[in-house]
A and B are shown apart, each in its own frame.
Chain A
Amino acid sequence: MTLGEFQGELIRGTAWLGHDFTGQRVAVIAPGREAAQIVPEVAATALSVKVFQEEPDWVLPLPVPGPRAVGVAMARVFLRWQVKDPWVRRLLTPDRFGSRRLAPGLGYFATLRRPNCKLITWPVYAFAAAGVRTAEGVEHRADCVVLGPSSVFARTATPEGHPA
């Protein structure tokens, strides 16, 4: 996959930490476990954030010791408590396949509830000059794209003027 002709700012790895996104429309492309870390930090300064979740993972307020089943049960309760919209909850719930990992993300769901933050689960298939294109046929404009370290694009994207 290629980042094509995207003209905006591209942030990889952990460069989003401490970065100032003031006035920017930011697209975060990452699996749920990474979005849970990245999104609250980005949304603190960005004008708006679109979260392109590549796959859902279980999100916990804090790491839970003990068997995985306990963590999953706690993650379910946390999700139910934090996200009232049943469709959005469904989009955030891991399914049969995929990583289904447990990840900490205390402020993730609260950030997603903000009016300037939107969760999108449509597959991203291409980058355009001014944003990302998803399979529901819409081009989402963005000034900056943050790629999670294990995003499909971080692994396979060719830089084309965007140094890693």
Chain B
Amino acid sequence: MSYDFAAMLQTIKDKQWSLADIDWDAPGAETMTDELRAKMRPFMADLVWIEHVGARGFASLATKAPTPEIQEIYRYFHAEEQKHANAELALMKRWGMLDEDGTMPEPNINVKLAIKVLDDFGDTLPLSGLATLIPLLECALDGALVKFLLEEISDPVCHQVFRHINSDESRHITVDFQVLELIGASAPHTLLIETIGNLKPQVIIGLIVVFVPLINKMRDNIVAMGLPEQKLYNAVKRFVTVGGRGKHTKRIPAYHVLKSQAAMVIDRSHPYHRYLADPMVKVTSLVPARLLGKPQSWTEEITHEPVAS
């Protein structure tokens, strides 16, 4: 029996929450010590940007959704990822991690490259590539980064915010894999066309120049901060297990490519790091940001204010 996307859309609408539902001045901010603040600030800044860029990914997915219901779901997911970025920025403000005027921290060069690629090619990427990449990132976010954050921070407001975020993410992951099932059930010639589309130079270059160093830099940063590698392993295992449970997902070549790449990312002794990822981190760190031009105005949409006049 096929999955009921209309029922899921209704659940998503029913489960909406707002930053205004949270008491941002509630006690607990004092649990953020100076030492923890200094340690967590770059992590939080990366997390906010990953959610913000992820939101843009859903905007691209919405343009190629196979049905109107899925398009509407992606429209909500786009907004929800933006909400997560907004809520995480509000947490940064609560913890004194932003400067006085509350401006968003500057993204690192790898995030800037990801923004550039999404602005230039995001809407032309084939559905199967983007639809496979997003659940992998969400499994990693949900399964490793957020769990790590909640273990490090005891502020009850942070835990309240992430109960909402995790509830949203569980629906994102469910839909992501159901869409993969739908794509995987397509006729062989459709899958072949999709796969050829995934081999376009902008996709391959985007993967190597943007995705590989972006993920590796974050991976090494968070492992250096104390995230056990086992958590990353579990997150990727979840991607493989949930994908493997489906009847048709296995038919998508992009799923197998990203599955193998994820396995290499978590294994630091794999030659992938020595010969590809580490050199790409070095090379991209030399790219002058001004070469990338001005990002599109969606990057300015983020706000930590629960209420706008």
Contact = CB atoms under 8 A, between A and B. Distances in A.
Given A97-B71, A122-B79, A137 B296 contact: no
Contacts of A98: 68
B71 A137 contact: no
Contacts of B80: 135-136
A126 B297 contact: no
Contact of A141 (B83, B296, B297, B307): B307
A97 B18 contact: no
Contacts, number: 76
Contact of B75 (A87, A123, A138): A123
A88 B298 CA distance: 9
Interface in A103-150: 122-123, 125-126, 128, 131, 133-141
B307 A139 contact: yes
Contacts of B62: 95
B17 interface: yes
A50 B67 CA distance: 29
B305 interface: yes
Contacts of B206: none
Interface in B65-106: 65, 67-68, 71, 75-76, 79-80, 82-83, 86-87
B18 A133 contact: yes
Contact of B16 (A86, A90, A97, A126): A126
A25 interface: yes
A138 B298 contact: no
Most chain B CB within a 10 A radius of its CB, from A25, A85, A98, A137: A137
A87 B297 CA distance: 6
A97 B75 CA distance: 12
A95 B18 CA distance: 27
B309 interface: yes
B308 A138 contact: yes
Contacts of B297: 85, 87-88
Given A87-B298, A123-B79, A138 B303 contact: yes
Interface of B: 13, 16-20, 62-65, 67-68, 71, 75-76, 79-80, 82-83, 86-87, 119, 123, 296-298, 301, 303, 305-309
Interface of A: 25, 85-88, 90, 95-98, 122-123, 125-126, 128, 131, 133-141
Closest 8 CB pairs of A and B: A137-B83, A135-B79, A97-B68, A87-B296, A136-B82, A125-B16, A137-B19, A139-B20
